[in-house]
Amino acid sequence: MLELSKVYHYYGQARALEEINLTIEEGSLVAVIGPNGAGKSTLLRVISGLEEPDRGKITFLGKRIDGLKAHKIAKMGISHCPERRRLFYDMTVFENLKLGGKVLKSREVFKKQLDFVYELFPRLKERKKQRSGTLSGGEQQMLALGRAIMPNPKLLLLDEPSLGLAPKIKTKIFDAIRLIKNEGTTTLLVEQDAVLAMNAAEYIHVLEEGKIEMRGTKEELEKEPRVKKVYLGI
């Protein structure tokens, strides 16, 4: 579904991504783990068109998307749930979700997606008339994820969905991510909580200082001494 080939990105003279080669198969849940500043958020921003790669090629469903504007990439079926949620805090829960579903073609499809979001997160249905800025951190993350799946995307990009959340809420968010994947949405997740990410994903890439240093299944990476020491605390 998605392929990155020798992708580089710079902020001025600082290299954020170096020769990224990455393939995402349709229907899969893939994770990218790594420390703060490794380039994880930049990777998603380059895919979704919020940043333009300086070199390399990105293809989505066989079509090149590197260099396209973000709104055009979104219309092709890529939805980006950003770090720190980026909600419209003066708008209600429903208004944020409605904005996420703006590209949908019919009321029937909109209602179907809205019902799916409310099924995933019943709390959002209870709070649908509440301004999103008054929600708890966990509820705001639920809303950010719900807004991202409202367009019924082909590919969902998730940036640090567990950031700042209590363990119980993290578990609820990741249960929802698995359900979204099981409904057929291909998902690329970047996450600092390596244990959560590795337990959820079918394949994992380890990004450090802008480069993919290791990749493999959970079982393969659990055998790597550096992963065990740095990411799993073993």
Do 212 and 99 fall into the same domain?
Answer: no
Same domain, 127 and 161: no
User: What's the burial of 73, exposed, middle or buried (CB within 10 Å: 0-12/13-18/19+)?
Assistant: buried
Contact criterion met (CB below 8 Å) for 140 and 96 = no
The pTM (predicted TM-score) of the whole model is: 0.93
Are 63 and 43 contained in the same domain?
yes
Q: Are residues 209 and 166 in the same domain?
A: yes
**121, 161 Cβ separation under 8 angstroms:** no
Provide the residue type at 181 as one letter.
K
Say if residue 46 is in the same domain as residue 106: no
Beta-bridge mates of residue 206: 33, 214
**What sign has the CA pseudo-torsion 35, 203, 188, 120?**
negative
Closest C-alpha among 121, 72, 69, 74 to residue 97: 121
- CA–CA distance, 172 with 187 (Å, rounded to integer): 17
- Tell me if 143 sits within 8 A of 132, measured CB to CB: yes
Q: Tell me 233's DSSP state.
A: -
| Residue-level pLDDT at 69 | 95
Domain count within the chain: 2
Query: Which one of 114, 147, 180 terminates a domain?
Result: 147
Same domain, 157 and 142: no
Domain of 101? 84-147
Within this chain, do residues 63 and 116 fall inside the same structural domain, yes or no?
Answer: no
Phi, psi angle pair for 35, to nearest 5°: -75, 170
Q: Which of 147, 166, 196 is the last residue before a domain boundary?
A: 147
| Closest of 226, 233, 161 to residue 197, by C-alpha | 161
Taking the chain (234 residues) in runs of 10, the rounded mean pLDDT of each run is 97 94 96 93 96 97 95 95 86 94 89 94 94 91 94 95 88 93 94 92 96 95 90 80
Closest CA to 177 of 151, 159, 204: 159
Amino acid symbol at 73: I
Q: Same structural domain for residues 182 and 71?
A: yes
**Looking at the structure, do residues 157 and 62 belong to the same domain, yes or no?**
yes
* Tokens of residue 170, six digits: 């993290």
Are residue 143 and residue 162 in the same domain, yes or no? no
Q: The CATH number of the domain where 8 resides is what?
A: 3.40.50.300
Continuous segment of H or E residues that includes residue 44? helix 40-48
Domain boundary among 113, 147, 181: 147
